[in-house]
C-alpha cells in the first residue's frame, strides 16, 4: 500500500528511527569521562603524591577539541548507522585508539617542564575509561559487521604496535615507561617465565584432558565421579591449592634426593604448574568430552558403513568434527591459565605477577600496571587467536554454530 506509506503518521519517524544504542551509550559515556574525569596525573618524582589534570589542561584546547570532535562524529554516526555504515565507526574508533599515546605526548609537552628528569606522567581515569569503552566499541562493531576474528586480531596487533613504538621512542616521562626501563631485564625474564608456565600447563592439560575424556567415554560409569573430582578441583581457591601443595611437595623433595635435584620443592614452579594443570583440566576435559559426544552419529555410522577403519573414522571424521569445540576448550584453558599464573608469583614461581605483588607492596600503581597490562594483552591475544582458529576450522560446518555472541 504505497499510499498508506506516504501518509505522515505521528510517531512513524520515531518508530523507524533505530540508532545503534550500544554505540550511542558508549560515546556519551566517553564524552562524559573525557570532560568529567582527570586525563593524566603528574608527580615530580616516584614518591610524591601526584596531581590530576583535566582534559583542557592536559591536551590543550586543540587536543581536547579534536578528541571531542571525533567522539561527536561517532555519536552522529551511531544515530543513523544503517546509512553512514559501520566502517566509518570502526575507522573512528581505531583512529581514537591510535591517537591515545599521542595525547599522552601532548600532555607531557604541556605539563612537564623540560629537564625535570624525575617527573612522572601517570595515566588518569579518563584515559582508562576511554580505552575500555573503545575496546567495547570494537567488540560491538565486530559483531555488527560480522568481521572475522582474524581481522580483529590484525587491527589489535597494529594498534598495540603503534603504542609500543610511541612508548619506546617518545614517552620517556610516562611512569609506566620509567618503571619498565628501570627493570627491563627483570621484565623480559618474567614475561618468559609467564609464557613458559602457561604454555607448559596448557600443553600438559591438553594431553591429559584428551586422555581423560577418552577414558570417560570408554568407561561411561566413571563419568559422574570424574566430573565431580574435576569440579571439586576447580572450586578450591587458588591460594589454598598452592598452600595445600606446599607441604607434600616439600616432604617429597626432602625424602627423595632425585626429586630435589630436579628442582622440585614446596614453593616455586612445581606447585604452580601442578595447580595450573589441575585448574585447566575441568574446562579441557569437559569440552573434549562434549566435542566428541556432539559428533553426528549419522556421520560416524556412514563412515563405518563406507568401510573406514576405526583409526580412519577417528582421524578423518571424529576428530575434525570435534576440533572446533575442542579448541574452544583450549581457548578457555589458556585464558584462565594466563590469569592464574599471575597468582603463582606469590609462591615464588616468577612470572608477571611478581610486578603486581611488588607494586602492591610498595604502593606503586605503575609497577602493578607493568605486570597487569601484559597479562591482559596476553589473555586477549590468546583469546582472539584461538577463537579465530576455531572459526576457520568451522568453515565447512554449520555457520549457525560458528557464531558466538
Partner 1 sequence: MIELHNVSKSFGDTLAVDDISFTVPKGRFCALVGTSGCGKSTTLRMINRLTAHGGGEITLDGQVVAAYNPVQLRRRIGYVIQDTGLFPHWSVARNIGTVPRLLKWPVDQIRERVEELMQFLDLPVDAFAHKYPHQLSGGQAQRVGVARALAADPDILLMDEPFGALDPITREKLQSMLARLQARLHKTVVLVTHDMDEALRLADHLVVMRDGKIVQQGSPLALLQKPANDFVDSLLGGLERGLKQASLTRVRDHMAPLGPTLPAQSRVPDTYTLRQALSVMLRDHCERVTVVDKSDVPVGELSLRKLVKEAHAEQGHGRES
Q: Which H/E stretch holds residue 43?
A: strand 40-43
**How far apart are CB 290 and partner 1 at their closest, in Å?**
17
**How far apart are CB 393 and partner 1 at their closest, in Å?**
8
| 148 three-state secondary structure | coil
Residue 68 binds partner 1 (CB under 8 A): no
Residue 307 binds partner 1 (CB under 8 A): yes
Closer residue to partner 1 (CB): 43 or 148: 148
Q: How far apart are CA 40 and CA 387, in angstroms?
A: 35
Which residues, in sequence order, are bridge partners of residue 121? Answer: 42, 174
Using CB under 8 A, which of 312, 314, 358, 389 touches partner 1?
Answer: 312
Q: Are strands 40-43 and 120-123 parallel, antiparallel or unpaired?
A: antiparallel
158-166, 198-206, 292-300, 359-367 -> range binding partner 1 (CB under 8 A): 292-300
Residue 14 CA from chain centroid, whole number: 38
**Cell representation of residue 249:** 611437595
Q: How far apart are CA 284 and CA 212, in angstroms?
A: 9
Residue 325 binds partner 1 (CB under 8 A): no
Residue 220 binds partner 1 (CB under 8 A): no
Using CB under 8 A, which of 40, 137, 197, 317 touches partner 1?
Answer: 317
23-31, 76-84, 341-349, 397-405 -> range binding partner 1 (CB under 8 A): 397-405
Residue 306 binds partner 1 (CB under 8 A): yes
Closest CA to 283 of 200, 343, 215, 205: 205
**How far apart are CB 302 and partner 1 at their closest, in Å?**
3
Using CB under 8 A, which of 139, 299, 373, 376 touches partner 1?
Answer: 299
Residue 294 binds partner 1 (CB under 8 A): no
Looking up cell 612522572, which residue turns up? 120
DSSP letters spanning 251-294 = HHHHH-HHHHHTT--SSSHHHHHHHHHHHHHHHHHHHHHHHHHT
Residue 399 binds partner 1 (CB under 8 A): yes
- For partner 1, the binding residues (CB under 8 A) are 296, 298-299, 301-309, 312, 316-317, 320-321, 396-399
Amino acid at each position: 500500500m504505497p499510499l498508506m506509506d506516504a501518509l505522515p503518521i505521528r510517531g512513524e519517524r520515531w518508530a523507524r528511527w533505530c540508532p545503534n544504542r550500544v554505540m550511542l551509550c558508549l560515546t556519551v559515556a566517553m564524552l562524559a569521562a573525557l570532560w568529567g574525569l582527570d586525563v593524566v596525573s603528574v608527580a615530580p618524582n616516584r614518591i610524591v603524591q601526584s596531581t590530576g589534570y583535566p582534559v583542557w589542561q592536559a591536551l590543550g584546547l586543540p587536543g581536547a577539541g579534536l578528541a571531542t570532535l571525533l567522539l561527536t562524529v561517532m555519536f552522529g554516526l551511531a544515530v543513523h548507522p544503517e546509512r553512514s555504515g559501520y566502517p566509518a565507526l570502526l575507522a573512528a574508533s581505531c583512529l581514537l585508539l591510535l591517537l591515545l599515546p599521542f595525547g599522552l605526548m601532548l600532555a607531557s609537552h604541556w605539563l612537564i617542564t623540560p629537564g625535570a628528569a624525575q617527573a612522572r606522567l601517570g595515566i588518569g581515569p579518563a584515559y582508562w575509561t576511554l580505552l575500555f569503552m573503545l575496546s567495547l566499541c570494537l567488540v560491538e562493531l565486530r559483531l555488527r559487521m560480522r568481521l572475522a576474528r582474524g581481522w580483529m586480531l590484525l587491527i589489535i596487533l597494529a594498534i598495540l604496535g603503534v603504542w609500543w613504538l610511541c612508548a619506546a621512542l617518545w614517552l620517556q616521562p610516562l611512569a609506566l615507561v620509567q618503571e619498565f626501563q628501570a627493570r627491563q631485564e627483570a621484565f623480559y625474564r618474567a614475561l618468559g617465565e609467564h609464557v613458559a608456565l602457561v604454555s607448559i600447563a596448557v600443553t600438559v592439560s591438553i594431553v591429559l584432558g584428551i586422555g581423560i575424556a577418552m577414558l570417560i567415554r570408554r568407561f561411561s560409569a566413571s563419568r559422574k565421579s570424574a566430573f565431580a573430582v574435576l569440579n571439586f578441583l576447580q572450586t578450591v581457591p587458588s591460594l589454598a591449592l598452592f598452600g595445600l601443595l606446599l607441604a607434600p611437595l616439600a616432604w617429597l623433595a626432602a625424602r627423595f634426593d632425585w626429586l630435589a635435584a630436579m628442582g622440585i620443592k614446596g614453593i616455586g614452579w612445581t606447585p604452580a604448574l601442578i595447580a595450573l594443570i589441575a585448574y585447566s583440566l575441568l574446562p579441557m576435559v569437559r569440552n573434549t568430552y562434549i566435542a566428541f559426544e556432539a559428533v553426528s552419529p549419522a556421520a560416524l555410522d556412514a563412515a563405518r558403513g563406507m568401510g573406514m577403519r576405526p583409526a580412519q573414522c577417528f582421524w578423518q571424521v571424529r576428530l575434525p568434527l570435534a576440533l572446533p569445540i575442542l579448541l574452544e576448550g583450549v581457548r578457555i584453558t589458556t585464558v584462565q591459565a594466563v590469569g592464574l599464573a599471575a597468582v603463582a608469583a606469590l609462591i615464588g614461581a616468577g612470572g608477571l605477577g611478581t610486578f603486581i605483588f611488588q607494586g602492591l607492596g610498595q604502593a606503586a600503581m605503575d609497577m602493578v600496571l607493568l605486570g597487569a597490562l601484559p597479562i591482559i594483552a596476553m589473555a586477549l591475544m590468546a583469546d582472539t587467536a584461538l577463537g579465530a582458529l576455531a572459526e576457520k576450522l568451522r568453515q565447512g560446518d554449520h555457520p549457525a554454530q560458528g557464531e558466538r555472541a
